[in-house]
């Protein structure tokens, strides 16, 4: 199994690869609006009942951070990212923000400039990494840092899309969507390993589960579906016929296409395993 996400780091599963930053932000927010509400519910079962310190790694536009703030209203939610525009959006929502490259490991949290010594700080109760771990060059190093930073009862939650979201319900169109997903997979979209052994190796006990969300057909869901198909259009593996069919779909998204938006996310919930000796790498 490939646990080296380096080669996939540019192959994000969100449809913002060829779009500008405005589209990128919009797509992350649409995903949150359409699909994300149930994801933080994993913390109702597996998370601490209360938290003082929560960290969102690769926080993006704050989709997960907002859910975490709702779930833990008394906690300080710190957002980590290395994209200045994302950081600006996060600051605008009142989050504590740390600008850091997660390729260098888990950052120090007090202040905006990371230092090497994360362990010297207040323990973190919840670390959240949604659709971000597969971007990181050295996930083992980052996870070791998370292990050191977490409080003894703390929880790490890693979320990835189990597959690209699906929207189309008519059988013929659903098959077209399936072929688009195959063409996207050929380009490495949404490529990530099963994180269980990687997280365990960093000194955690892990449970893995899947969370499926079926979303109502709203204008946001239609817009989100359209965003995906607009990106599929550029996939080299798509046949000319399928490209024509996608173009036709794009014309019709705002009105007569039957949608049944649903997505499945894989969620890894990990707690520090006191019996495991974890790597001391930083």
Query: 272 pairs with which residues across the strands?
Result: 204
Site stretch for ligand SAM (CB under 6 A), options 127-135, 207-215, 226-234, 273-281? 127-135
Q: Which of 102, 133, 143, 164: binder of ligand SAM (CB under 6 A)?
A: 102
String of contacts with ligand SAM for each residue 176-205, x by CB under 6 A: ------------------------------
Question: Minimum distance between the CB of residue 90 and ligand SAM, rounded to whole angstroms?
Answer: 9
Paired tokens of 184: 């996207």
Stretch that binds ligand SAM, among 47-55, 95-103, 188-196, 216-224 (CB under 6 A): 95-103
Q: Does 60 bind ligand SAM (CB under 6 A)?
A: yes
Query: Please, what's the b/e burial string for 52-77 (b: 16 or more CB within 10 A of its CB; e: otherwise)?
Result: ebbbbbbbbbbbbbbbbbebbeebbb
Token pair listed for 282: 């930083």
SS3 61: coil
Cα angle for residues 193, 158, 206 (degrees, 5° grid)? 85
- Which x/- pattern over 26-55 shows residues binding ligand SAM (rule: CB under 6 A)? --x---------------------------
**82 lies in the site for ligand SAM, by CB under 6 A:** yes
Q: How far is CA 25 from the centre of its chain?
A: 13
Angle at 110 between CA 105 and CA 115, to 5 degrees: 40
Under the binding rule (CB under 6 A), the answer on residue 135 touching ligand SAM is: yes
Nearest of 51, 272, 27, 243 to residue 143 by alpha carbon: 272
Q: Which of 55, 67, 86, 149 binds ligand SAM (CB under 6 A)?
A: 86
Element (H, E) at 151: strand 150-161
How far is 145 from 257, CA to CA, in rounded Å? 47
Among residues 23, 33, 103, 260, which is the contact residue for ligand SAM, using CB under 6 A?
A: 103
Selected from 30, 63, 220, 230, the binder of ligand SAM by CB under 6 A is 63
Question: Cβ of residue 276: shortest distance to ligand SAM, in angstroms?
Answer: 26
For residue 130, the SS3 value is strand
Closest separation in Å from C-beta 122 to ligand SAM: 21
Q: Does 101 bind ligand SAM (CB under 6 A)?
A: yes
Task: Measure the CA–CA gap between 207 and 111, rounded to whole angstroms.
Answer: 33
Candidates 34, 75, 90, 136; binder of ligand SAM (CB under 6 A) is 136
Q: How far is the CB of 87 from ligand SAM (least distance, A)?
A: 9
For residue 96, give the nearest of 116, 122, 120 by alpha carbon. 122
Using CB under 6 A, which of the segments 40-48, 97-105, 196-204, 220-228 binds ligand SAM?
97-105
> How far is residue 108's CA from residue 96's CA, in Å, rounded to a whole number?
13
Say whether residue 59 binds ligand SAM (CB under 6 A). yes
14 binds ligand SAM (CB under 6 A): yes
**Rg of the chain on CA atoms, in Å:** 19
Residue at shortest CB range from ligand SAM: 60
Chain residues binding ligand SAM by CB under 6 A are 12, 14, 28, 58-60, 63-64, 81-83, 86, 101-103, 130-132, 135-136
């Amino acid at each position: 199994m490939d646990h080296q996400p380096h080669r996939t780091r540019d192959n994000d599963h969100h449809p913002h690869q060829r779009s500008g930053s405005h589209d990128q932000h919009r797509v992350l927010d649409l995903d949150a609006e359409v699909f994300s509400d149930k994801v933080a519910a994993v913390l109702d079962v597996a998370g601490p009942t209360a938290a003082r310190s929560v960290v969102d790694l690769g926080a993006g536009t704050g989709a997960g951070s907002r859910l975490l703030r709702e779930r833990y209203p008394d906690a300080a939610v710190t957002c980590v990212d290395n994209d200045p525009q994302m950081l600006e959006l996060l600051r605008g929502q009142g989050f504590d923000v740390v600008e850091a490259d997660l390729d260098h490991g888990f950052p120090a949290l007090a202040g905006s400039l990371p230092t090497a010594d994360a362990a010297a700080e207040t323990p973190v109760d919840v670390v959240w990494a949604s659709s971000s771990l597969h971007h990181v060059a050295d996930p083992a190093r980052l996870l070791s840092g998370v292990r050191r930073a977490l409080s003894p009862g703390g929880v790490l939650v890693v979320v990835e899309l189990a597959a690209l979201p699906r929207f189309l319900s008519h059988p013929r169109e659903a098959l077209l969507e399936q072929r688009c997903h195959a063409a996207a997979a050929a380009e490495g979209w949404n490529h990530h390993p099963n994180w269980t052994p990687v997280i365990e190796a960093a000194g955690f006990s892990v449970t893995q589960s899947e969370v499926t969300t079926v979303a109502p057909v709203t204008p946001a869901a239609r817009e989100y579906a359209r965003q995906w198909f607009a990106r599929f259009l550029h996939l080299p593996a798509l046949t000319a016929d399928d490209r024509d069919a996608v173009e036709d779909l794009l014309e019709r998204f705002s009105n007569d296409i039957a949608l049944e938006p649903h997505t499945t996310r894989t969620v890894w919930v990990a707690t520090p395993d006191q019996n495991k000796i974890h790597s001391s790498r930083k």
